[in-house]
A = this chain, B = another copy of it.
Amino acid sequence: MKIAILPGDGIGPEIIEQAVRVLNTLDEKFEMETAPVGGAGYEAHGHPLPEGTLKLAKEADAVLFGAVGDWKYDTLDRPLRPEQAILGLRKNLNLFANLRPAILYPELAGASTLKPEVVSGLDILIIRELTGDIYFGQPRGVRTAPDGAFKGEREGFDTMRYAETEIRRIAHVAFQAARKRGKRLTSVDKANVLETFQFWKDIVTDVSKDYPDVALDHMYVDNAAMQLVRAPKKFDVIVTGNMFGDILSDAAAMLTGSIGMLPSASLDANNKGLYEPSHGSAPDIAGKGVANPLATILSAAMMLRYSLNKAEQADRIEAAVKQVLAQGLRTPDIYEEGTTKVGTREMGDAVVKALA
């Protein structure tokens, strides 16, 4: 089985290095091939998603992705900016199902800005549709307004769209995930304002007939943003569109105070997937050896579970991460008094050792 390794920019290479070391520690050996992406892709081949990188990602059984982006690319034309690589990979690989767990490890309860009783034991799963919605909907652009109160003026515009198939398939992923967890699914929409999300709500309700064992409820996106702050533990699985999911999954991740710990998976219909930490490329700390590699290591574990069918190895990695936390090792982002501050490599060393 072949894994495409796309380190990217900023802290990407450092954290990917540790995840690769962890994978190499397992009995199972994987073929891995590395390619540049994001700013690194632009530097090497003039494009954030070079042809060779896309080809490798398509051929591989799974993609392990670091992070992309750096201020120095801010002035490039949009199609050349690093984040276009991630949008391009999602679309080209049909990675329509983004799974983002927001878990608060008991050892890190103090890292949250929320009161311990509100977040301790938090374990929710956000499932974000990833290849549709206003992210990709055509037409879009800047034009002369063709109608309305500002007819004749310059305007920016985009199209939100969801077809029935797109909603059905992500709903099935969500119901199936809920079935394996607490059996509760919250579908987040804005059906009171948007036609797209009234349609979304209707289809999700229809799909729910196949899952009588899962309790479905519907919540408006503004209310969901409030409830995540007020009582996040009331959620089990949340499913929503690409745009709302972008916002809510980041808010949910931040509730834990330790976004450096949170992995993510983006899957196609055959469980091929791209795996990446939920955090960004953090160019401000790149190269300093202080980035937290655990989200990437846990992403590698998700990869083993979902795409490579090695659930046992995934369990081992997750247990090893818990063990190093229990040992009190902390990168600066999750450091608290009384714990031991370590760098990126030392954290990787500790996970490798715990696996041995």
> Residues on A close to B: CB < 8 A?
78, 81, 83, 87, 113-115, 118, 134-135, 137-138, 140-142, 145, 147-150, 153-166, 190, 192-200, 221-223, 225-226, 228-231, 243-244, 246-251, 253-255, 257, 259
Q: Which of B114, B135, B150 contacts A165 (CB 8 A)?
A: B150
Which of A87, A162, A198, A229 has most B Cβ within 10 Å?
A: A229
Q: How far is the CB of A206 from chain B (nearest CB, A)?
A: 12
Q: Which of B140, B141, B199 contacts A142 (CB 8 A)?
A: B199
* Contact (Cβ within 8 A) A155 B163: yes
* Contact (Cβ within 8 A) B246 A158: no
* Contact (Cβ within 8 A) A157 B160: yes
Q: How far is the CB of A335 from chain B (nearest CB, A)?
A: 16
Q: Which residues of B contact A246 (CB under 8 A)?
A: 190, 221-222
- Cβ-closest 10 pairs across A and B: A156-B199, A150-B163, A156-B196, A155-B163, A225-B251, A226-B254, A222-B250, A229-B254, A158-B160, A157-B161
Report the bound CA distance from A246 to B244 in whole Å: 12
* Contact (Cβ within 8 A) B156 A162: yes
Which of A81, A154, A226, A244 has most B Cβ within 10 Å?
A: A226
Report the bound CA distance from A113 to B155 in whole Å: 40
Shortest Cβ distance from A166 into B: residue: B150
Q: How far is the CB of A334 from chain B (nearest CB, A)?
A: 14
Given A154-B164, A247-B221, also A142-B229 (CB < 8 A)? no
* Contact (Cβ within 8 A) A138 B147: yes
* Contact (Cβ within 8 A) A161 B148: yes
Report the bound CA distance from A254 to B200 in whole Å: 26
Report the bound CA distance from A195 to B190 in whole Å: 21
Given A198-B78, A226-B253, A251-B226, also A137-B113 (CB < 8 A)? no
Given A118-B113, A142-B195, A229-B254, also A155-B159 (CB < 8 A)? no
* Contact (Cβ within 8 A) B254 A158: no
Q: Which residues of B contact A248 (CB under 8 A)?
A: 225
Report the bound CA distance from A162 to B141 in whole Å: 11
Which of A137, A149, A155, A244 has most B Cβ within 10 Å?
A: A155
Q: How far is the CB of A241 from chain B (nearest CB, A)?
A: 10
Q: Which residues of B contact A247 (CB under 8 A)?
A: 221-222, 225, 244, 247
Report the bound CA distance from A83 to B137 in whole Å: 27
Report the bound CA distance from A244 to B193 in whole Å: 13
Q: How far is the CB of A99 from chain B (nearest CB, A)?
A: 17
Q: Which residues of B contact A140 (CB under 8 A)?
A: 194-196
Report the bound CA distance from A141 to B159 in whole Å: 12
Q: How far is the CB of A221 from chain B (nearest CB, A)?
A: 6
Report the bound CA distance from A240 to B231 in whole Å: 26
* Contact (Cβ within 8 A) B229 A113: yes
Q: Which residues of B contact A254 (CB under 8 A)?
A: 225-226, 229-230
Given A194-B134, A253-B226, A255-B229, also A161-B145 (CB < 8 A)? yes
Q: Which of B113, B163, B226 contacts A145 (CB 8 A)?
A: B163
